[in-house]
């Protein structure tokens, strides 16, 4: 997949257009030639493990860090040549909300609104509205220094809603949040986009990218190792597979024959411990399989049908922890 040959991309519509970004720290190529195209009005997910280079990439795009090589444009403005203009077009979470730790959440939001040029009345109204939306009304009067991490994160995002810049960078917005708060964040992120912003978010959570992002770049060791829609990425891994284990290992070869016959495949694989794995095009066949196995007196220990998950995509692309996901071994054993 090469995003630069993707004909659907109209360069006028790009919120982010980065070519060959590089950042080197000592002898560590933290970002090693990253290309990114983010269409305006979309949610773009940059997915990668700790240390992959996500934050460093964002910092270069947000004019907070100078790239050692490559170039980046935000809505057509070069981050190196027009940093002032770029800064007016972007929001980076982490920079808001904590104007003053000893002031309350409301006071912080009001000050922030005033700094953005809202009237006193408008600022108060906005602060109240946002605190309600983020479930922070109870805590509104509390000084910020007594806020939990999750509350801070919510307040931070609330503050970015005041300015509502055209492009918002969210660097791991939900890392460490409880599920409820995370779902709230997701809703807010969707709302930001509905109201016209573009969001570039980084995440370590595949589920989050799956849930939110229109397109995803998988980044590993400073490089984009895959790019596309969630479906593109899932399809790149293949169809579902059936995993079953049987109670009595003596019936293994018989069970395998049944699996192959019922699923109409030649490539079922058996392994020690009574395990059978087979590709499966049609999940509905499981019923037939179960009936046939029972008729043959074969007792099951466990059965699962797995659609490729983003986890599998990620693992198969980055090769990390690939031992649990081994199409190669199938051929060896077959």
Ligand X SMILES: Nc1ncnc2c1ncn2[C@@H]1O[C@H](COP(=O)(O)OP(=O)(O)O)[C@@H](O)[C@H]1O
Residue ranges that bind ligand X, judged by CB under 6 A: 25, 28, 30, 48, 50-56
> In whole angstroms, how close is the CB of 197 to ligand X at the nearest point?
22
Q: Which of 305, 290, 299 is nearest to 249 (CA)?
A: 299
Contact by Cβ (8 Å): 165, 118: no
What Å distances lie between residue 281 and 12, 106, 125, 260, 264, CA to CA? 41, 55, 55, 12, 10
Binding-site partner at residue 53 among Mg ion, ligand X, none, CB < 5 to 8 Å by type = ligand X
Backbone angles phi, psi at 24, to 5 degrees: -115, 130
Backbone angles phi, psi at 319, to 5 degrees: 75, 0
Contact by Cβ (8 Å): 244, 262: no
> In whole angstroms, how close is the CB of 53 to ligand X at the nearest point?
4
According to DSSP, residue 67 is labeled: -
Nearer to Mg ion, 49 or 83 (CB): 49
> Which residue of this chain has its Cβ atom nearest to Mg ion in the complex?
55
Nearer to Mg ion, 108 or 202 (CB): 202
Binding-site partner at residue 63 among Mg ion, ligand X, none, CB < 5 to 8 Å by type = none
Binding-site partner at residue 228 among ligand X, Mg ion, none, CB < 5 to 8 Å by type = none
> In whole angstroms, how close is the CB of 253 to Mg ion at the nearest point?
50
> In whole angstroms, how close is the CB of 58 to ligand X at the nearest point?
8
Sheet holding 28-39: strands in order across? Answer: 28-39, 14-25, 69-74, 77-78
Nearer to ligand X, 50 or 266 (CB): 50
Nearer to ligand X, 65 or 140 (CB): 65
> In whole angstroms, how close is the CB of 202 to Mg ion at the nearest point?
6
Binding-site partner at residue 30 among ligand X, Mg ion, none, CB < 5 to 8 Å by type = ligand X
Nearer to Mg ion, 158 or 219 (CB): 219
Using CB under 5 A, list all residues that contact Mg ion.
54-55
Q: Is the dihedral of CA 207, 93, 219, 39 positive or negative?
A: positive
> In whole angstroms, how close is the CB of 118 to ligand X at the nearest point?
33
Nearer to ligand X, 48 or 228 (CB): 48
Helices and strands (H and E) in the chain: how many: 12, 14
Contact by Cβ (8 Å): 93, 156: yes
Binding-site partner at residue 25 among Mg ion, ligand X, none, CB < 5 to 8 Å by type = ligand X
Binding-site partner at residue 94 among Mg ion, ligand X, none, CB < 5 to 8 Å by type = none
Q: What is the dihedral of CA 252, 256, 258, 260, to 10 degrees?
A: 180
Q: How many CB atoms lie within 10 A of CB 320?
A: 11
Nearer to ligand X, 28 or 267 (CB): 28
CA distance from start to end of the chain = 31
> In whole angstroms, how close is the CB of 310 to ligand X at the nearest point?
17
């Amino acid at each position: 997949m090469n995003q630069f040959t993707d004909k659907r991309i109209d360069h006028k519509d790009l919120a982010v257009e980065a070519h060959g970004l590089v950042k080197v720290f000592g002898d560590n190529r933290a970002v090693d030639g990253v290309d990114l195209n983010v269409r305006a009005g979309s949610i773009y997910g940059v997915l990668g493990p700790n240390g992959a280079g996500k934050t460093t990439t964002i910092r270069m795009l947000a004019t907070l860090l100078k790239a050692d090589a490559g170039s980046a444009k935000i809505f057509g403005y070069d981050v190196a040549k027009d940093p002032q203009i770029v800064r007016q077009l972007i929001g980076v979470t982490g920079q808001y909300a904590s104007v003053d730790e000893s002031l309350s959440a409301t006071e912080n939001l009001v000050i922030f609104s005033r700094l953005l040029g809202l009237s006193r009345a408008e600022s108060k109204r906005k602060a109240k509205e946002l605190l309600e939306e983020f479930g922070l009304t109870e805590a509104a009067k509390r000084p910020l220094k007594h806020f939990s991490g999750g509350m801070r994160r919510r307040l931070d995002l609330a503050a970015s809603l005041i300015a509502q810049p055209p492009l918002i960078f969210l660097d791991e917005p939900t890392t460490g949040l409880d599920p409820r708060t995370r779902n709230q964040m997701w809703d807010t992120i969707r709302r930001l986009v509905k109201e016209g912003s573009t969001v570039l978010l980084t995440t370590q959570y595949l589920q989050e990218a799956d849930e939110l992002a229109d397109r995803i770049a998988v980044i590993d060791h400073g490089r984009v190792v895959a790019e596309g829609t969630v479906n593109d990425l899932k399809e790149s891994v293949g169809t579902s597979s059936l995993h079953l284990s049987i109670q009595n290992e003596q019936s293994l070869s018989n069970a395998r024959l049944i699996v192959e016959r019922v699923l109409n495949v030649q490539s079922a694989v058996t392994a020690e411990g009574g395990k059978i794995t087979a590709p499966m095009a049609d999940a509905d066949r499981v019923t037939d399989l179960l009936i046939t196995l029972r008729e043959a007196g074969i007792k099951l220990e466990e059965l699962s049908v797995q659609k490729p998950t983003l986890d599998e995509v990620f693992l198969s692309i980055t090769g990390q922890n690939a031992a649990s996901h081994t199409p190669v071994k199938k051929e060896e054993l077959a």
